[in-house]
Amino acid sequence: MFSKVLFGRYVPTNSFIHRLDPRAKLVLSFYFIVIIFFANSWLAYAFLGLFTLVVILSTKVKLGFFWDGIKPLIWIILFTVILQMLFSNGGHIYWHWGIFSITQFGLINGGYIFCRFLLIICMSTVLTLTTPPLLIADAVESLMKPLIKIKVPVYEIALMLSIALRFVPTLLDETQKIMNAQRARGVDFSTGSIWKRIKSVIPILIPLFISAFNRADELATAMEARGYRGGEGRSKFRILQWHGKDTAACLVMVVVTIVLVGVRLYS
């Protein structure tokens, strides 16, 4: 399961999305996540879903591979949707038992939340699939540079983000290896009571934490041996440049916003 999680993984292809400036992709991704919450009808969510599908296809990453990557998160979304449906009031009541009820508004809000989570996960995954972690860190550093004047540690934040994104897939792969090793020793993670399943996780967490701390210590030693003393004053090997295609991508997002506002007003 962990091998299919795509967060933090970069899939190199020669697509239009890959060639965009990482600053443009980062800003537009966050902007898209914000405008998702302005959708108030099924037509608006259908439009945003179609736009997201076009973006996914533009990455030239196989759709099945992409779906396998986000599928493990679907259960978290469904759990949130079920809570929304059981505790929302309003409209026609379809089922009621104690403090739980399923109403018309609950079903609608649950559907909206499902669409929101799915769109957010898809667009966030597109960002990490099409942008190397180091370029994401460079984009964050470039966008946050004005904050240096108020003593915000921009270089350190960018470094921590780069390291975190770099080691997410590594830790997931390490978790999968530990689970396979425990299964070979007879540990069953899928059966038994909840308490038994919680206890079976402990043999995973202990070696995983030890491995993470060892990697952190080795990384700190390697950085110190190479003379790292902070990002201020250092030259850049990768120079970020804004091109016409980045402006075009921003204009496309402006058009998406205008259409969404129109759908919201007339739906």
DSSP 102: E
pLDDT beyond 60 at 2: no
Cβ atoms of 190 and 157 closer than 8 Å = no
Same-domain pairing of 204 and 254: no
Greater confidence (165 vs 259) lies with: 259
Expressed as residue numbers, the domain containing 121 is: 16-131+241-266
Kindly report the pTM of this predicted structure: 0.74
216 located within any domain: yes
Same domain assignment for residues 110 and 186: no
Same domain membership, residue 150 and residue 122: no
Same domain, 154 and 99: no
Q: Are residues 112 and 207 both part of a single domain?
A: no
Q: Does 149 lie in the same domain as 112?
A: no
Count of structural domains within the chain: 2
| pLDDT at site 230 | 67
> Parallel, antiparallel, or unpaired for β 100-103 and 93-97?
antiparallel
Q: With a cut of 70, say whether residue 1 has pLDDT above it.
A: no
Query: Residue 80 pLDDT more than 90?
Result: no
Q: Is 152 inside any structural domain? A: yes
Do 125 and 30 belong together in one domain?
yes
80 with 186, same domain? no
Angle value at C-alpha 73, between 72 and 78, nearest 5 degrees: 115
Within a domain: residue 2? no
Are 90 and 172 contained in the same domain?
A: no
Whether residue 45 is found in the same domain as residue 78: yes
Describe the chain by its helix, strand, coil percentages, rounded to 5: 70, 5, 25
Q: Look at the block and give the residue holding tokens 């003593």.
A: 151
Q: Which of 117, 75, 84 is nearest to 102 (CA)?
A: 84
Per-residue model confidence (pLDDT) at position 201: 74
